[in-house]
Structure 1
Amino acid sequence: MDDEALLRGRVYGADHDDPGPQPGHEYREPVGGPLDGLLLDVTGWGTEQLADGAALSTEIGRYGAGGRAHYGPRPADPRRWDWRGDTP
């Protein structure tokens, strides 16, 4: 993702009125699944956390409210996280 695309993105978990990505923060791009097109703020995450990926709460996944969408780093480009499925 180039810098221009990063600046246009919406951040997962941020308010709709939020201005988007913030300078000095580190982001990952969820690809596929219900959170495709958003950015995930991973500022302060450790190396192990970044390698493991994340189970992110979402109301728009397969299981609706309370469900989680699982994303993990793409081997060829760890800044992009591929969708691995949903869980309740």
Structure 2
Amino acid sequence: MYGADHNDPDPGPQPGHEYVELVGGPLDGLLLDATGWAAEERATGTMLITEIGACGPGGRAEYEPRPGTPDRWDWQGDVP
């Protein structure tokens, strides 16, 4: 879903991919691979399943693009 697999020998950003940085919340500092996302998808943000948010396993962390800085997405909160 975001970044690379935990056991990837080269976990950094991959050439030719487009990433957005997640800012704040449980996924702060991680990169979301948005390669191939349509402009509409990138404009609305997303909810990412996470086990470390306020709602525990199966909960979601909501992130939306930062106005004026679309490659940084700010945390909006956690939802069950």
| Fold match (TM-score > 0.5) | yes
State the secondary structure of the residue aligned to 1:14. coil
Report SS of the residue matched to 1:23: coil
The structure in which a higher percent of residues are helix is 1
Q: Which residue of 2 aligns with 1:64?
A: 56
SS at the partner of 1:49?
Answer: helix
1:37-85 Cα distance to aligned partner (Å, 9 max, x none): 1100000000000000010010000011100000000002110000000
In the TM superposition, residue 14 of structure 1 has moved relative to its aligned partner by 2.7
Q: Residue 28 of structure 1 corresponds to which residue in structure 2?
A: 20
Amino acid at match of 1:46: A
Q: CA deviation at 1:12?
A: 2.7
Which residue of 1 is the match for residue 70 of structure 2? 78
Secondary structure (helix, strand or coil) at the match of 1:82 reads strand
1:16 equivalent to 2:6? Answer: yes
If asked which structure has higher relative contact order (CA below 8 Å, sep 6+), I would say: 2
Aligned length: 78
**TM-score of the pair, normalised by structure 2:** 0.91
| 2:53 aligned counterpart, secondary structure | coil
* Unmatched tracts of structure 2, length 5 or more: none
Q: Percent identity?
A: 69
CA displacement at 1:16 relative to structure 2? 1.3
Does structure 1 conserve the Cα–Cα contact (< 8 Å) formed by 2:63 and 2:76?
yes
Letter in 2 for 1:12: Y
Residue 13 of structure 1, CA deviation: 5.5
